[in-house]
Chains A and B, each alone.
Chain A
């Protein structure tokens, strides 16, 4: 972990609770990501995923701690960090082109109309919405709206993409297509991405690192799962990969049982050094955090899965 492009350092978020006290959504949360990495956060509803993402975006402020991006503590929002909102958040009085152009002209204030339009058009074409430029959001399907949101986020060529359950409202087919698009774009442009999802397969397909959060209140980052699947994985034959089920079972086990019992059972959990797990070999798949030192050093698939 030499390159910490994004570094969340001990953040906490508290809300004034009932009866004058405070409720802590999470505290002492440490997390880092390298440049070009794709991170997914998985955790149960209400554990504070959106809160983390909003703090990363600069839309919300942590009660304690700081977020460092590219060597600088963030202060408020930035055009370097684009957000794809869960509810697409398109401006209904603007057309598809108008919505993307709004972002483009916000980033490059001095550009003339023609240049803004040409640039916006490029990203509308990229997400496959050519021909729908002059439609208003109300005339689009859910998947098309989400694609406009993606085009808008990409059009400002951000350094980091922050996505809050971007595909959760979509049908399986559209979701698959958009996942492919997002993955292709991120790989092509070397984008650093941080995404919240409830879909384990989505995380396995897209993420390099999967962050598992325990249930709130007082949620903690329980472990970081490294994706052992090769970079050139395909969405269709994901499940044919020898490590797929080990990885999937590990995450599901966490969500089903360990996310609830984690606080009670985990002893000596150090929030600053969250264990990194790399599920793969059957016998090490679940009890892996016991020996994190050996896990992290595995060179991925170059090691035959039969040896031990």
Chain B
């Protein structure tokens, strides 16, 4: 009996997951009460020392806590106690806004760079210098000039997602097959119509690949940015729970960051497939 590759891969995935949970569970379970300890000292040290319990939560703790979070994702008990749904919504909102502005800037500019060798050469030194700067390095400058932590975070998202989109758009536009351009030329299609009916569809897969890279970077950066600016967002949540020494919540946040990142990537991957046509 042979299974399809998909099914076999799924089985291996489940086995790996179960093994991971098992090892995690074994590594963090309590090792029985410690002996020879004065009651005062034991009280001071908490369960970690008295029960031999690891400070690291086990899978069951995390599961129980996660269930608790999922049942009440949107509660709001003041600045330091908000539901995970609210925190994620803040982060996704910031990423969405910064990313949208980056799209609006990078794609028209990328078109210009891709279509005009002059602008391409003129802008090249700036792009080369600005591109490798870590987006977080802009943070102090953003905070100083904008004077608003939330907008600064959005600015940082903008600056980190603009480069891959700009470069990919320029690359895609400059690399449109000459024969497709020639078709438009022999049909006397005007520049604007040519840009929308030939160059945009031809470059779309490359542009969307850039957008996919950008959304990944933006989601990486938002966590770090929110740790710095504080207030709200999943990044702030992670930092706050670390200060509360709630490793369980940190693990849950890590898990959710991964899942949201994957979903964002999948959405862009789907769009890329929609505009890609084999020849």
Which residues of A pack against B, CB within 8 Å?
A: 57-59, 76-79, 81-83, 85, 87, 89, 91-93, 102-103, 106-107, 136-138, 156
**Given contact pairs A85-B179, A102-B187, A156-B187, a sample of 4 additional A-B residue pairs in the complex whose CB atoms are under 8 Å apart:** A79-B187, A79-B188, A91-B201, A103-B187
- Which residues on the A side are within 8 Å of B204 (C-beta)? 93
How far, in angstroms, from A57 to B187 measured CA to CA in the complex?
11
Q: Which 4 A-B pairs have the closest CB atoms?
A: A106-B187, A89-B179, A92-B277, A138-B278
**Proximity bits, B196-218, A CB within 8 Å = 1, else 0:** 01100110100000000000000
- The smallest beta-carbon distance between A77 and chain B, in angstroms, is 5
The residue that A77 contacts in the complex, of B188, B198, B278, with Cβ under 8 A, is: B188
- The smallest beta-carbon distance between B190 and chain A, in angstroms, is 9
Q: How large is the interface on B (under 10, 10 to 19, 20 to 34, 35 or more residues)?
A: 10 to 19
**Proximity bits, B153-193, A CB within 8 Å = 1, else 0:** 00000000000000000000000010110110111110000
- The smallest beta-carbon distance between A69 and chain B, in angstroms, is 14
Given the known interface contacts A102-B197, A138-B278, A138-B279, the answer about A91 and B186 at a Cβ–Cβ threshold of 8 Å is: no
- Which residues on the B side are within 8 Å of A156 (C-beta)? 187
Do the beta carbons of A82 and B277 come within 8 Å of each other? no
Do the beta carbons of B277 and A138 come within 8 Å of each other? yes
- Which residues on the A side are within 8 Å of B177 (C-beta)? 89
- Which residues on the A side are within 8 Å of B180 (C-beta)? 89, 91
Do the beta carbons of B197 and A92 come within 8 Å of each other? no
Which residues of B pack against A, CB within 8 Å?
A: 177, 179-180, 182-183, 185-189, 197-198, 201-202, 204, 275, 277-279
How far, in angstroms, from A138 to B277 measured CA to CA in the complex?
8
How far, in angstroms, from A57 to B228 measured CA to CA in the complex?
61
A selection of 7 A-B contacts at a CB cut-off of 8 Å is: A58-B186, A77-B186, A89-B177, A91-B202, A106-B187, A106-B189, A107-B187
- Which residues on the A side are within 8 Å of B277 (C-beta)? 92-93, 136, 138
How far, in angstroms, from A29 to B268 measured CA to CA in the complex?
54
- Which residues on the A side are within 8 Å of B186 (C-beta)? 57-59, 77-79, 81-83
- Which residues on the A side are within 8 Å of B187 (C-beta)? 77, 79, 102-103, 106-107, 156
- Which residues on the A side are within 8 Å of B197 (C-beta)? 102
- The smallest beta-carbon distance between B277 and chain A, in angstroms, is 4
How far, in angstroms, from A137 to B198 measured CA to CA in the complex?
15
The residue that A93 contacts in the complex, of B179, B185, B201, with Cβ under 8 A, is: B201
- Which residues on the A side are within 8 Å of B189 (C-beta)? 106
Do the beta carbons of A92 and B185 come within 8 Å of each other? no
How far, in angstroms, from A137 to B278 measured CA to CA in the complex?
8
- The smallest beta-carbon distance between B248 and chain A, in angstroms, is 49
How far, in angstroms, from A82 to B180 measured CA to CA in the complex?
14
- The smallest beta-carbon distance between A285 and chain B, in angstroms, is 39
- The smallest beta-carbon distance between A299 and chain B, in angstroms, is 38
How far, in angstroms, from A138 to B279 measured CA to CA in the complex?
5
Do the beta carbons of B278 and A106 come within 8 Å of each other? no
- Which residues on the B side are within 8 Å of A138 (C-beta)? 277-279
How far, in angstroms, from A84 to B240 measured CA to CA in the complex?
66
Do the beta carbons of B183 and A89 come within 8 Å of each other? yes
Given the known interface contacts A78-B188, A91-B198, the answer about A83 and B182 at a Cβ–Cβ threshold of 8 Å is: yes
Interface centre among A58, A59, A103, A106 (most CB of B within 10 A): A106
Do the beta carbons of B279 and A106 come within 8 Å of each other? no
How far, in angstroms, from A232 to B68 measured CA to CA in the complex?
87
Residue of B nearest to A83 (CB): B186
Residue of B nearest to A104 (CB): B187
How far, in angstroms, from A83 to B180 measured CA to CA in the complex?
12
- The smallest beta-carbon distance between A83 and chain B, in angstroms, is 5
Do the beta carbons of A92 and B183 come within 8 Å of each other? no
- Which residues on the B side are within 8 Å of A83 (C-beta)? 182, 186
- Which residues on the A side are within 8 Å of B201 (C-beta)? 91, 93
The residue that B179 contacts in the complex, of A57, A82, A87, with Cβ under 8 A, is: A87
How far, in angstroms, from A125 to B179 measured CA to CA in the complex?
25
Do the beta carbons of A85 and B183 come within 8 Å of each other? yes
- Which residues on the B side are within 8 Å of A79 (C-beta)? 186-188
How far, in angstroms, from A215 to B171 measured CA to CA in the complex?
37
Residue of B nearest to A162 (CB): B186
How far, in angstroms, from A137 to B183 measured CA to CA in the complex?
15
- The smallest beta-carbon distance between B191 and chain A, in angstroms, is 13
- Which residues on the B side are within 8 Å of A103 (C-beta)? 187
Do the beta carbons of A91 and B188 come within 8 Å of each other? no
- The smallest beta-carbon distance between A162 and chain B, in angstroms, is 9
- Which residues on the B side are within 8 Å of A57 (C-beta)? 186
Interface centre among B180, B182, B187, B202 (most CB of A within 10 A): B187
Do the beta carbons of A92 and B279 come within 8 Å of each other? yes
- Which residues on the B side are within 8 Å of A58 (C-beta)? 185-186
